[in-house]
Amino acid sequence: MTKQEFLSVFEKKLDVAEPMRSDIIAEITSHLEESSDTDDCDLGDPSKLAQQLNRVHIGFFANRKRMFFVPILAGIFLFIVSYFLPANMIDEASYLPAWQGIAFYIGRFLAVVIPLTLAVLIGRTFAKKRAIKLDFFWILIEAVLIITVYQVLQNILSGLAFQEAIGFFEFVVFSAIGTSIVLGIFAFAGLVFSKPVDPRKTGVIGVRVTFELVCFLILMVFILIAGGLVAEMFFAPYDVALVRPPEGTVIRDVNDFFESSIGTLIVILSAEFLCFAFFLRRLWSVHREHFHSILAWVLAFGSSATVAIIDLRLPSFAITAILLAVLGLLFGLFKPRGFWSWAVILASGLPIVQLVVSVLMPFHLQHYARGSLFLISFVSILPTIAGLLIGRSVREMKNSRQKVLVIKE
């Protein structure tokens, strides 16, 4: 292996963040330059060296495979430990309709796994950027504690409610407060700790999705899931109950409001809007020069998700295809660079929203409940590509006409 090959493999495998990264690379380069040709690459295997340095500067989660520990542990906790807690000793399937029984468990699983994975990802970036192991583990422990306390509290409350020790009203209020606190903490952590990649150093902000954007999107999906859960399960507890409180009572009014789509949407949209506003403010303050590029990424996914939500209420896929083609046309026209990135981002909204809704809110999937339309939703990339092609062609024609005019002049 030549010195150049050694360095390229080493740089690829080194996960340590700047400025430490440049420092390490400079040190290893200077070592290689000094070593004679006969003993080139006396440093051994470049991947191994990079991994050892990653372990020194990042710590336990330097090995990406270890990140899977957290979701696995969360799964074990939910499906084994949580099973023996008092509230779960009651057979939930006997009083809940079948779909809610399964969705309830999957929902609870996702509600734990997603924020925990998010916390790990955020923590890992935070640890990489600051090279502080302690902060990272603190975030992780904090996340685990919050989820554990939340789970135990929820189980105690459910247990008390089922034994009629507390009324359903108190149950709803306490659960809603608990959920809001948990959501608030995670949203806050996501916003505070998702430090952006410095565009002045990478210079490729418009070409690849930054970690910040990925964090934001995960957070939005999480809010969508959690918002739906909160609205459906806590604010509208009598949604599918056989016996409801009498009409005219406050609890019935609250239930009916949040049971309808307006109430559900208010919870989700206000959380999403708040998150989006904070995100934009942060982008504006940090990436002032690159604000428009990032805004385009956010707009692309936002509009794609909006089309997907509209699609849930549409009787046919044809209208959705037209909407996606129009989106593709607009992006092809105004942002002709990064053709495939736009195609993937614009087409990703439909399968993501389909997956989320089919798992957690199957009752909202009126026409999509039939057949395997979730898989068909991947076809949404075709009209998007068609739209992008048309848009880019129009842009190229316009550009070439302008060039001809300049030459003529």
Partner 1 sequence: MKISHHQTETIILSALAIHPMHGYALSGILRKELPQTFKFGVGMLYPILHKLEKRQLIVGEWRDVAGQQKKVYSLTKKGKKEQTELAKQWAAFSGVVSKFIKRTV
Q: Which residues bind partner 1 (CB under 8 A)?
A: 23-24, 26-28, 30-31, 33-35, 42-45, 48-49, 52-53, 55-57
Work out how close the CB of 3 gets to partner 1 at its nearest, in angstroms, rounded to a whole number. 13
**Length of the chain measured in residues:** 409
Ordered DSSP codes for 245-268? PPTTSHHHHHHHHHHSHHHHHHHH
AA identity, residue 45: D
End-to-end C-alpha distance for the chain, whole angstroms: 57
Work out how close the CB of 36 gets to partner 1 at its nearest, in angstroms, rounded to a whole number. 11
CA atoms of 335 and 293, how far apart (whole Å): 9
Is 57 or 335 the residue whose CB approaches partner 1 more closely?
57
C-alpha separations of 329 from 25, 316, 336, 377, 393 in Å: 44, 21, 10, 19, 10
Ordered DSSP codes for 60-129? GGGSGGGGGHHHHHHHHIIIIIGGGSGGGGS-GGGTS-HHHHHHHHHHHHHHHHHHHHHHHHHHHHHHHH
Is 51 or 180 the residue whose CB approaches partner 1 more closely?
51
Work out how close the CB of 203 gets to partner 1 at its nearest, in angstroms, rounded to a whole number. 25
Work out how close the CB of 20 gets to partner 1 at its nearest, in angstroms, rounded to a whole number. 9
Work out how close the CB of 41 gets to partner 1 at its nearest, in angstroms, rounded to a whole number. 9
CB atoms within 10 A of CB 359: 16
CA atoms of 81 and 96, how far apart (whole Å): 22
Work out how close the CB of 195 gets to partner 1 at its nearest, in angstroms, rounded to a whole number. 21
* Helix pair 291-312, 339-360: axis angle to 10 deg: 40
Is 49 or 112 the residue whose CB approaches partner 1 more closely?
49
CA atoms of 75 and 82, how far apart (whole Å): 10
Work out how close the CB of 23 gets to partner 1 at its nearest, in angstroms, rounded to a whole number. 7
Is 33 or 164 the residue whose CB approaches partner 1 more closely?
33
Is 48 or 313 the residue whose CB approaches partner 1 more closely?
48
Is 28 or 343 the residue whose CB approaches partner 1 more closely?
28
Is 51 or 88 the residue whose CB approaches partner 1 more closely?
51
Ordered DSSP codes for 2-26? -HHHHHHHHHHH--PPTTHHHHHHH
CA atoms of 140 and 119, how far apart (whole Å): 6
Q: Are 113 and 71 in contact (CB under 8 A)?
A: yes
Is 5 or 42 the residue whose CB approaches partner 1 more closely?
42
Work out how close the CB of 59 gets to partner 1 at its nearest, in angstroms, rounded to a whole number. 10
